[in-house]
Structure 1
Amino acid sequence: MAPKRSAKALSNVPKRKKAVMCLTEKIRVLDKLRSGLSYSAVGREFNVNESTIRYIQKKEDDIRRSVREAAPESAKVTSIVRDAAMEKMEKQLNLWIQEMTTNKKSMVDSVVVRLKAKEIYSHVTQGQEKVKPFSASAGWLARFKRRYHMKNVKLGQKAGPADEEAAEEFKKYLLSIIHEKGYMEEQVFNADETGLFYKNVGRRTYIMQMASKAPGFKSFKDRATLLLCANAKGDFKCKPLMVHRAQNPQALRGKNLNRMPVHWRWNKKAWMASEIFWDWFHNCFIPEAERYLHSKNLAFRILLILDSAPVHCHEELENAHPDIEVLFMPPNTASLIQPLSQGIIKAFKAHYTRELYSKAFEALDANEETTMMDYWNSVTIRNVIDYISTAWDSIRQATINNCWANVWPDCVKTFEGFEGVRESIKNSVENIMHIAQQISGEGFRDMREGDVEDILAEMAVEPTNKDLDEIAKHGTGVSDDDGSDEGQPKSPRIVPLTAAKIAEWNSALEKIFHDMEECDPVLERSLTFKRLTSTAFVPYAETLKDLRRKAKQTRLKEFFKPVWEGELPTPSTHCESRTPEVELSDLTCHPH
């Protein structure tokens, strides 16, 4: 009997590379089988297993139908059988783009193409039952371009010559304003919105497929709108503003919404609205920017750059504050010159997705019985806020500063350029894919770079007029009322934070420190844990001191408060009394 090979030896054996055949090659395989060749002979000719050849023959009808519906360019690069309606739509869309760009000499950008795709899809599926939803996402557009070899067609992130011309004119105007008025890198800011599907783990993964089939599943429930803002120097990032659908989610009951890592706002659709933006400008942006500039010993003079979205209160902001000048970019130029669109938002989403996947892997690794569905259901908006804060903090100053190169080149100090930004994002994407491949569950091990890019490409959703009417009807903003969603359980009893409770935690930590020092043979390890934990506990230690100080002051007042057994004296008409009979602790005026 041959000796068994060790696990180490098996691990060194190179794995056979998986053969991925496009639809055109699969048609050739089927034609070979029809000519009378055996499964094994065809497998040897195409260098694949016999089982693969059998599987292709089993799917012959679907493969031939998909090739008939698809354009030749798509069949040469597509490896899976796709929905007939999608193939028809893309084939017609490709013809429309050729007509617009070749015959009519028109320019079409990504927005126009995606709207046309949805229009054609609605037409080809008219009257059909069980039509699959199609959102014409940025990720789909990128894959469509690859399938039809549109490398030279200006779609996606590039606009037409008119937009480029407008962008250049705005750039010149901006630089003239900066030079004439002497704005410094610390005083120039850019703000923009982005959509965040905060539980998006990839549409091809098992978890998303199962979740979409669950009763009552609605993807918008896991979507929020974020407003991000940073200055040109890159050393200051405003606290993100988060617009959620719930006014008072259960996961945040008992939490001070004003003391979170995000500014919390809400409406029923989780969309940005002009009222929310106006509130952010006055009550969030101005105070934060003023504190920052004061810490830098700089004058409170600000130049804020925004895109031309209607929610940005164009007319109102022009004279909203005497020390803040607002410039609006021309339409369809944000993708060319807006700093947040040059990589800052994408870097943020890469960090957020990496954090989401990392926490998933930790949860599954800690408990073998935990499934990805269990983790997905356990993620609350409280976790999401934590991940958002971590991701926003992870963006380096150099990344932000480099993203201003297209609109204000002279302010860039690190000289890494966009290559450095793209390299950083690429590393994050590779890290996400590496973590995903370690997560058990169908769809994660097969995750591709395009799936991650699809997640990072999600943009803010702009409401229609009908949606705006609905938002106005339900209201927007923040409220202290119990604005829970219908069907949610009642708010649990809030346990107050007391000095006794913090002292209890402190005693528990001291016991843990003592046990570790007694039991851990590596003293350095236990001391390191004690030092790091003690540092993290400092905010609670300061709160404990504050609570004890207030309690001591209250006891002193009670101790010195006299016991009055007679009638109270008639109050004097003068605030100051030179010879009072008694001094009551609640009087506002005291004798001198």
Structure 2
Amino acid sequence: MTAKCSAEVLPAVPKRKKAVMCLMEKIRVLDKLRSGMSCSAVGREFNVNESTIRYIKKKEKEIRRSVREAAPESAKVTSIVREEAMEKMEKRLNLWIHEMTTDKKGVVDSIVVRLKAKEIYGHVTQGQKNVKPFSASAGWLARFKRRYGVKNIKLAGEASSADQEAAQEFKKHLLSVIEEKGYVEEQVFTADETGLFYKDVGKRTYITQMASQAPGFKSFQDYATLLLCANAKGDFKCKPLMVYRAQNPQAVTGKSVNHMPVHWRWNKKAWMTSDWFHNCFIPEVECYLQGRNLAFKVLLILDDAPVHCCEELRNAHPNVEVLFMPPNTTSLIQPLDQGIIKAFKAHYTRELYSKALEALKANKETTMMDYWKSVTIRNVIDYVGTAWDSIKQATINNCWKSVWPDCVENFEGFESVTESIKNSVKNIMHIARQISGEGFDDMKEEDVEEILAEKAVEPTNEDLDEMAKHGTGVSNDEDSDESQTKTSRIVPLTVAKISEWNSALEKIFNDMEECDPMLDRSLKFKHLTSTAFAPYAEMLKDLRQKAKQTRLTQFFEPVWEGKLPVPSTSQESQTPKVELPDVNMPPSSSSAE
């Protein structure tokens, strides 16, 4: 009876809930222990038993290895230490998925992912003994998706209507944000990246067949990544961001990176960098809106690719609101994907072919292969700038119809954009047939379409190893971060060089007026050329003025550098010894010793 009463009186002691700690939390525990805290103190802070802390400490080496090999996404949800080979494989597989979906803007099929997983697993376990078999089952894929938060892999049989629904939901959300915040067409921007094989002349040409035998063809060779950005009004286009695989290629040595038709960045694999937002986008847009007397209030629409550093950009600037589109909706609602990027590539390809035809006509002995080899990244920068400038305001504005219909003025239908691209395709084919031979004379429309299509550069297993080593394929390499600040030596323009150009032009003008029977034609050329040369003429004037001022100021600088005479204590007068200045040395300010 007494025992029964005491049992009723004494409250039951609640059991401590079993805590399941993810690997990242275990790393925090280990860091606390390294700082000098006791196991009991750490246990109280994390609300777990001291025995749990001691077990974590015992497994420190395995835990740190697992977190090091895994991606941060996985370490935040995984609680157990997994095999090293599996961690390496899944990290590389996740990077591969990001690379493929970022460029292709498409859906990676589950069957392809499972096959790729087995291939990567074979690569990371190559040469090892007693390797456990890995079947890449459907169950493993489901767990992988959960660990890495991968949402853009569609399992076989899943309906594609989810993309349509997500696109419609985002469209409603976007319109509500625009209405609530009062954004106007000039203040709403979108950006998207695309790969550019800048020497792509079609699969069927003799050039491609010959070049494909070279190692690295259509890997990261002759490849650059571009980021294009424009507003909904269509009257403003940011300077394209170009990411190249070499920092200072010989073709642009001595050129100022701040005075190019593109924002120049580099890393070894031409992966997109993440500093575009602060160093390129913000300054250009602020200047544009100021020129339109509009408030610096911006809405930027991006896809959810890792290149855009989603978490970093959400609150990166107080005047810029960033919205991220859901996965698998880019092809449906991204304005740049509605024809702008394809139109840009059409203009670029037309420029590439036109320059090739000019080179062949100028020298009959030149072959297309010779021209193809002579194209440098400096030519590419020029062609990219020309192609981007060729995109019309109406084309950009029309492509916003799918996501913000009310902003479109005089909508001519997507057919007008398609028709414009078709005309460019016909133009390219016409130029190609004039080149003739080497696979160009019978070029078909589908050949040109293949050139204009967005294509992903599939990373090799070695590329994935390097991407995993440096964390992610979309940020700079460690050595890239250090080298990014280095710039090649820029040779300044001199009075002598500009004067030489000026004299050469004067000679050309005189010869034309003397030899050309049509005086108005030679005078028109002189006027147009003089107008184009005006910035150099102004620079020449400024340099001469500065040189004249420098010579004048030399008269006011002290040149005597002798010692001041020291008063004599004796009755005799003394003549101080004066050191005459060296006339060959530049003048400097005097100093008393």
Same fold (TM > 0.5)? yes
Q: Is the 2:429–2:445 Cα contact (8 Å) retained in structure 1?
A: yes
Q: Is the 1:190–1:306 Cα contact (8 Å) retained in structure 2?
A: yes
SS in 2 for 1:220: coil
Give the number of equivalent residue pairs.
417
* 2:244 corresponding residue in structure 1: 244
1:321 pairs with 2:317: yes
String of CA shifts for 1:89-143, please: whole Å, max 9, x gaps: xxxxxxxxxxxxxxxxxxxx953369749959x99xx9xxxxxxxxxxxxxxxxx
Matches within 5 A, 1:103-122: 111-112=107-108, 116=112
How far apart in 1 are the matches of 2:313 and 2:108? 29
How much has 1:455 moved relative to structure 2?
1.1
Compute the RMSD of aligned alpha carbons: 2.8
Q: 2:294 aligns with which of 264, 278, 298?
A: 298
How much has 1:556 moved relative to structure 2?
2.1
How far apart in 1 are the matches of 2:530 and 2:111? 56
Bigger radius of gyration, 1 or 2? 2
Q: Is the 1:268–1:474 Cα contact (8 Å) retained in structure 2?
A: no
How much has 1:480 moved relative to structure 2?
5.5
String of CA shifts for 1:179-223, please: whole Å, max 9, x gaps: 111101010000010000000011110011111224675642101
* 1:172 corresponding residue in structure 2: 172
Q: Which amino acid aligns with 1:466?
A: D
How much has 1:419 moved relative to structure 2?
1.1
* 2:465 corresponding residue in structure 1: 466
String of CA shifts for 1:398-455, please: whole Å, max 9, x gaps: 0000010000000001311211111111110110011001113221111111111111
* 2:501 corresponding residue in structure 1: 505
Matches within 5 A, 1:112-511: 112=108, 116=112, 160-214=160-214, 217=217, 219-272=219-272, 276-277=273-274, 279-459=275-455, 461=457, 466-470=465-469, 473-476=477-480, 479=484, 481=486, 496-511=492-507
Q: Is the 2:267–2:477 Cα contact (8 Å) retained in structure 1?
A: no
How far apart in 2 are the matches of 1:216 and 1:407? 39
String of CA shifts for 1:151-202, please: whole Å, max 9, x gaps: xxx9xxxx92111111011001100110111101010000010000000011
Q: Is the 1:193–1:460 Cα contact (8 Å) retained in structure 2?
A: no
Q: Which amino acid aligns with 1:315?
A: E
How much has 1:586 moved relative to structure 2?
8.7
Gaps of 5+ in 1: 1-108, 127-153, 484-492, 570-584, 588-592
SS in 2 for 1:190: strand
Q: Is the 1:225–1:460 Cα contact (8 Å) retained in structure 2?
A: no
Larger deviation: 316-325 or 474-483?
474-483
**C-alpha spacing 1:203/1:476, structure 2 compared with 1 (3 Å):** same
**C-alpha spacing 1:301/1:470, structure 2 compared with 1 (3 Å):** same
How far apart in 1 are the matches of 2:403 and 2:198? 30
How far apart in 2 are the matches of 1:213 and 1:328? 41
**C-alpha spacing 1:313/1:542, structure 2 compared with 1 (3 Å):** same
How far apart in 1 are the matches of 2:160 and 2:322? 26
How far apart in 2 are the matches of 1:460 and 1:557? 61
* TM-score (norm. length: structure 2): 0.66
How far apart in 2 are the matches of 1:435 and 1:114? 42
How far apart in 2 are the matches of 1:297 and 1:548? 38
SS in 2 for 1:192: strand
How far apart in 1 are the matches of 2:508 and 2:181? 59
How much has 1:568 moved relative to structure 2?
8.1
How far apart in 2 are the matches of 1:391 and 1:118? 40
**C-alpha spacing 1:482/1:241, structure 2 compared with 1 (3 Å):** closer
Q: Is the 2:558–2:588 Cα contact (8 Å) retained in structure 1?
A: no
How much has 1:262 moved relative to structure 2?
0.8
**C-alpha spacing 1:568/1:509, structure 2 compared with 1 (3 Å):** farther
Percent identical = 74
How far apart in 2 are the matches of 1:435 and 1:118? 44
SS in 2 for 1:349: helix
**C-alpha spacing 1:550/1:268, structure 2 compared with 1 (3 Å):** same
Q: Which amino acid aligns with 1:468?
A: M
How far apart in 2 are the matches of 1:169 and 1:258? 40
Structure 1 runs (4+) deviating above 6 angstroms are: none
**C-alpha spacing 1:523/1:196, structure 2 compared with 1 (3 Å):** same
How much has 1:541 moved relative to structure 2?
1.1
String of CA shifts for 1:563-592, please: whole Å, max 9, x gaps: 3345589xxxxxxxxxxxxxxx999xxxxx
How far apart in 1 are the matches of 2:554 and 2:207? 61
String of CA shifts for 1:359-416, please: whole Å, max 9, x gaps: 0011001111000000000000000000000000000000000010000000001311
